[in-house]
Every structure is written in C-alpha cells, then in structure tokens.
Amino acid sequence: MGLAHAARGMLTQQDGRVIDSLPSIDVPVLVIVGADDRPFLGAAEYVVAKIPAAELVVIPDAGHTCNLDQPELFNQHVLEFLATLSGGASADVTPAGRAEGVALRAEVQAADAQATDAATAGG
C-alpha cells in the first residue's frame, strides 16, 4: 500500500487512474533507473511489477539522470531492448547517429548546467 501511495504522489494525480491502468499496458516497456536514484527505485520496481511485459534495468553508479551519468551503459540497454522489438535492426546505429547522440547529450548537459547555475544564483 505504501508503494502504491508513493507512486500516486510522484505522478501528482488526483486519483488512481494512471496507476490502476498499468496492468492493461500490453506492449513491451523498458524502465531504467539509476542505482543512486533512491527516491525512484521503489516506484520503478512498482511499475515493472504492474506492467506485464515490463523490464527493469538499474544502472550502477548513476542517479536520476542515468542517461547522462552512464551514457554508454544506458544506450546499450536501450539498444538491446529496441533490438528485441525490431528483430535487431535498431542495434545497427550508424556513426552519424552516434555523433548526433553525442551532440544532443552535450546540449542536454549544457542546459542542465545552466538550469543548475540559475537555481543556485536564485537561491
């Protein structure tokens, strides 16, 4: 009951519609959480337990932004998951696609740094 209540609170919903609908999801779902993201570990486990075709990946040495903390490991798990959906075609990432991903990651990190700086300056 405690996990259900916590998950409902994290989704900031007025009722249990989203949580209650999780068992009806009938497509494969990959839930990725950082091992150091303690506030979300329980919620991730709860979601995976409720969705029939869900898979949980816990990324070591990573927090809430596990895609930034451990990008290679994160990408590996995503590509492996996508390969199971498409018969392997998604695992064939081109060098241009990798470069685009690296550039996007740099943009996200820069934006995150700016937001952190703004929050620090304001408080």
pLDDT band of residue 64 (cuts 50, 70, 90) is very high
Q: Which residues contact 33 (CB under 8 A, 6 or more apart)?
A: 40, 41, 44, 56, 57, 58, 59, 66
pLDDT band of residue 1 (cuts 50, 70, 90) is very low
Query: Residues 85, 91, 92, 98: what is their CA dihedral angle, to the nearest 10 degrees?
Result: 130
**Residue 31 in contact with residue 7, Cβ under 8 Å?**
no
Q: What is the pLDDT of residue 94?
A: 56
Q: What is the pLDDT of residue 17?
A: 83
Measured CA to CA, the distance from residue 7 to residue 35 in angstroms comes to 18
**113, HSE (Cβ side, Cα atoms, 13 Å):** 7
Whether 106 has a pLDDT exceeding 90, the answer reads no
**Residue 84 in contact with residue 54, Cβ under 8 Å?**
no
Q: What is the pLDDT of residue 118?
A: 62
Q: What is the pLDDT of residue 16?
A: 82
Q: pLDDT digits over 2-61, tens only?
A: 555 555 555 556 778 888 889 999 899 999 999 999 999 999 999 999 999 999 999 999
Among 4-8, 69-73, 89-93, the minimum mean pLDDT is found in: 89-93
Provide the mean pLDDT of the chain.
78
